Structure 1
Amino acid sequence: MKQLRSGVLLGCSLLVAVQAFYSPSDDVVELNPSNFNREVIQSDSLWLIEFYAPWCGHCQKLTPDWKKAATALKGIVKIGAVDADQHKSLGSQYGIAGFPTIKIFGANKNKAEQYQGGRNSQAIVDGAMNALRAMVKERLSGKSGSSGYSKQQSGSDSDGKKDVVELTDDNFDNMVLDSDDVWLVEFFAPWCGHCKNLEPEWAAAASAVKEQTKGKVRLGVVDATVHQAVSSRYGIRGFPTIKIFRKGEEPEEYQGGRSRRDIIERAMDLFSDNAPAPELLEILNEDVLKNTCEDSQLCIIGILPHILDTGAAGRNSYLDVMVKMADKYKKKMWGWLWAEAGSQMALEASLGIGGFGYPAMAAINTRKMKFALLKGSFSDTGIHEFLRELSVGRGSTATLAGGVVPKIHSVEPWDGKDGQLPEEEEYDLSDVELDDFDKKIEL
């Protein structure tokens, strides 16, 4: 029994001795899935990394030379080690099939090279210095590697803004879950080929979406190999995984295409689903027309009958139709305006509206100084057909008279009430001599 117990204890002690390849006092950096991206992928240093298994005899034999090389290269080249038996996922990422395997992570951390040199300390140092010289030569020639989103986000784009937001375990809840904005979040891994293919599409889409939605829809990225808490929370198992986050709702899996066009289209759908309908404004002065139409591809302008012809109820029924259509086409982000017939005569004249009667409607592109007139009924069906034709590039257009936006007069806003006829002036006839008036008529 004592022999058995001593044998077990000996086996355990041997196991501990085998596993304890490197200690904190060594110059070899122990790497794992939690620190690999931070220490290696995001680093500008050259790394030589040994992928080993504690039970591997060749690995045990390499250990003293690996430590000696690490000490010799301290401050020059980083030397690391990964227990690929314990961290199988990290080993599989780099195609580790045997032990020990040594990889060189140079300028492009996403394309590790296989170390082919000898396994003694001198050969390792020589191989590291050769790789270092090659990396320096690349930098002198102006070439540089890419380390994925995390590396890219340390820089900035042409206008100095980060349109793809780098999300972490620390900032995710505050930036995404507590935000009123809609978020599309890509969970990626730096070694993932599909993630690298998606990167330029995601970045281009981020810029377009931010501009078109005024920042109401944002695109972010999470390095799932580093920020494992948030990735685990959402069950991320493959890369890239894209999820949609809306405040107060469960995250939704993104099912669309991976081109920038697909991403932008889905983002705009999300924006229109959550955005309020554009405000329908009365044309009260030049600024209202200018500010609304300059920011929109099209301005939809309704010219409504005079209040004396319809009363408040009639006018509100026309406005309700326009509000309904504004909501239906809110994804287009058009401007919506209205004016009372006769209040903006120059505008009516430039559009040739007078000949069609009231109510009337025009769609104006102030950038091209083109417009189209509603020929059908001023109703849900008529306006929908009119706008649908414009949306697909059909419909008859004309140039604004004079090729400029007509003069807009400042008017008082409608008070929401029925109109009143102007009061007729009363005349006091008490001091008029009717006899004299009759005589003048006879003459």
Structure 2
Amino acid sequence: MKPLLLGVLGCSLLLSVEALYSPSDDVVELTPSNFNREVMQSDSLWLVEFYAPWCGHCRNLAPDWKKAATALKGIVKVGAVDADEHKSLGGQYGVRGFPTIKIFGANKNKPEEYQGARSSQAIVDGAMNALRSLVKDRLSGKSGSSGYSRQQSDSGSSGSSKDVVELTDDNFDKTVLQSDDVWLVEFFAPWCGHCKNLEPEWAAAATAVKEQTKGKVRLGAVDATVHQVLSSRYGVRGFPTIKIFRKGEEPEDYQGGRTRGDIIERALDLFSDNAPPPELVEILNEDVLKSTCEGSQLCVIAVLPHILDTGAAGRNGYLEVMIKMAQKYKKKMWGWLWTEAGAQMELESALGIGGFGYPAMAAINTRKMKFALLKGSFSETGIHEFLRELSVGRGSTATLGGGVMPKIHAVEPWDGKDGQLPVEEDYDLSDVDLDEDFEKDEL
């Protein structure tokens, strides 16, 4: 019995070490079971940290987060989500690294990302600024409604919110079956209690999924008591029934959870499964860099050796490695860029790349102006390890030189060929008068 007892005690001790917050703190512990009640249905402003217990940056933040929570007690709510344990909540709000801090203000469905420093004073200042903005909006008459509940039609049957598409016997084939997009379709009955419970979750998920997939995954709803041709065609026997439709394939039964986080997570998986890998783009000018990086959490940039050093075959080998990594990490929806050594010297200088030789790689968060450098090999294994560490918040980062993006020069695109050495001019020395002294010395 003693070894068993020691094992149990060891687990308890381990758990107590990993816990960043306790009930005695003023930080509210948030989970999928209480998040909707505490945050989404609250009139208060909330600051919510999404963290992982093993994350070093999260552990460093914890004392300041607790201090800020105490200072803001009764003014602004401060919470924390163990997003390593509750992945559905993290996925719902696009959390890709730790710690991530979100501000849930007037529109709880569209939280803002906190961009300030991680000290208690900066957190309090950020909270107060957000609170002033919230009060100002209320004074001006802005409602800030979250708008995630499906509206009721005059007939009493459930219609759809703005992002849940109402599907019928007449429009289903054209809207869903002939679409290139992926569809999650709920078959419901207005009198069904489970369907009513699903309503706000389905509508909230519809808005988030539409935004995060740029409309490539959509959520629809069919009143199966009215549109019985559809419900019969797809063998609907109970409510709610959810099916997944992809063009040219048989519909698939949805097997996931019924919270908005579960629905969003499954929708994003469907999106990434069907989406092509991101394009690998050469940095030709400033617009290319901006368009690729601004909409991505991370931008992965490779600086490849000069074409005279590798030839076309060598360069294509490096590009092939990057393309494979872009495919592997396509769910992250990062940007992928490359440039030739020496073409963008200001960028190389800002990243401190010169000391590591070529090829080199950096991952940049352009919103926070932070970057990390690949220290391992420029190979599938080395890059995978580098990006995997970054994706879970373990990578070592630094601030981009000057806190702004460096100047990007316009360059000609690579033509795909081997490099050519510059042609040297031939000089005719027959007409050149040699110095007499030089001639004598030579003689």
TM-score by length of 2: 0.64
Quote the residue 1:361 is aligned against.
361
Quote the residue 2:246 is aligned against.
246
Distance in 2 (alpha carbons) for counterparts of 1:382 and 1:257: 36
Q: How does 1:147-296 map to 2 (within 5 A)?
A: 147=152, 162-296=162-296
Q: How does 1:327-346 map to 2 (within 5 A)?
A: 327-346=327-346
Quote the residue 1:298 is aligned against.
298
Quote the residue 2:389 is aligned against.
389
Distance in 2 (alpha carbons) for counterparts of 1:246 and 1:150: 32
Matched letter for residue 348 of structure 2? E
8 Å CA contact 2:152–2:158 kept in 1: the answer is no
Shift of 1:436: 3.3
Shift of 1:150: 8.4
Distance in 1 (alpha carbons) for counterparts of 2:159 and 2:240: 21
8 Å CA contact 2:157–2:190 kept in 1: the answer is no
Matched letter for residue 313 of structure 1? A
Shift of 1:353: 0.5
- For the structure 1 residues 174 and 440, does the alpha-carbon distance in structure 2 shift closer, same or farther, using more than 3 Å as the test? farther
Larger radius of gyration: 1
Distance in 2 (alpha carbons) for counterparts of 1:163 and 1:152: 17
- For the structure 1 residues 173 and 343, does the alpha-carbon distance in structure 2 shift closer, same or farther, using more than 3 Å as the test? same
Q: Deviations over 1:32-80 (max 9, x none)?
A: xxxxxxxxxxxxxxxxxxxxxxxxxxxxxxxxxxxxxxxxxxxxxxxxx
Matched letter for residue 259 of structure 1? T
- For the structure 1 residues 299 and 146, does the alpha-carbon distance in structure 2 shift closer, same or farther, using more than 3 Å as the test? closer
Runs of 4+ in 1 over 3 A off after TM superposition: 145-156, 433-437, 439-443
8 Å CA contact 2:286–2:408 kept in 1: the answer is yes
Distance in 1 (alpha carbons) for counterparts of 2:153 and 2:192: 9
Distance in 2 (alpha carbons) for counterparts of 1:149 and 1:242: 25
Number of residue pairs aligned between Structure 1 and Structure 2: 294
Shift of 1:424: 1.6
Shift of 1:430: 1.6
8 Å CA contact 1:148–1:190 kept in 2: the answer is no
- For the structure 1 residues 152 and 403, does the alpha-carbon distance in structure 2 shift closer, same or farther, using more than 3 Å as the test? farther
Q: Secondary structure at the match of 1:208?
A: helix
Q: How does 1:408-423 map to 2 (within 5 A)?
A: 408-423=408-423
Quote the residue 1:378 is aligned against.
378
- For the structure 1 residues 329 and 146, does the alpha-carbon distance in structure 2 shift closer, same or farther, using more than 3 Å as the test? closer
Q: Deviations over 1:62-121 (max 9, x none)?
A: xxxxxxxxxxxxxxxxxxxxxxxxxxxxxxxxxxxxxxxxxxxxxxxxxxxxxxxxxxxx
- C-alpha RMSD over aligned residues: 2.1
Matched letter for residue 282 of structure 2? E
Quote the residue 1:82 is aligned against.
none
8 Å CA contact 1:280–1:336 kept in 2: the answer is yes
Quote the residue 1:114 is aligned against.
none
Distance in 1 (alpha carbons) for counterparts of 2:433 and 2:288: 56
Distance in 2 (alpha carbons) for counterparts of 1:232 and 1:309: 66
8 Å CA contact 1:213–1:268 kept in 2: the answer is yes
8 Å CA contact 2:165–2:221 kept in 1: the answer is yes
Distance in 2 (alpha carbons) for counterparts of 1:153 and 1:190: 6
Matched letter for residue 389 of structure 2? E
Shift of 1:428: 1.2
Distance in 1 (alpha carbons) for counterparts of 2:209 and 2:386: 27
Shift of 1:435: 6.6
State whether structure 2 residue 352 is matched by structure 1 residue 352: yes
Matched letter for residue 416 of structure 1? G
Q: Secondary structure at the match of 2:429?
A: coil
Shift of 1:422: 1.2
Q: Secondary structure at the match of 2:187?
A: strand
Shift of 1:171: 0.3
Matched letter for residue 251 of structure 1? P
Identity within the alignment, %: 83
Structure 1 unaligned spans of 5+: 1-144, 157-161
8 Å CA contact 2:158–2:223 kept in 1: the answer is no
- For the structure 1 residues 373 and 414, does the alpha-carbon distance in structure 2 shift closer, same or farther, using more than 3 Å as the test? same
8 Å CA contact 1:150–1:166 kept in 2: the answer is no
Matched letter for residue 319 of structure 1? L
Quote the residue 2:61 is aligned against.
none
Matched letter for residue 391 of structure 2? S
- For the structure 1 residues 266 and 441, does the alpha-carbon distance in structure 2 shift closer, same or farther, using more than 3 Å as the test? farther
Q: How does 1:4-43 map to 2 (within 5 A)?
A: none
Distance in 1 (alpha carbons) for counterparts of 2:290 and 2:331: 21
Distance in 2 (alpha carbons) for counterparts of 1:399 and 1:208: 31
Distance in 2 (alpha carbons) for counterparts of 1:433 and 1:146: 96
8 Å CA contact 2:205–2:260 kept in 1: the answer is yes
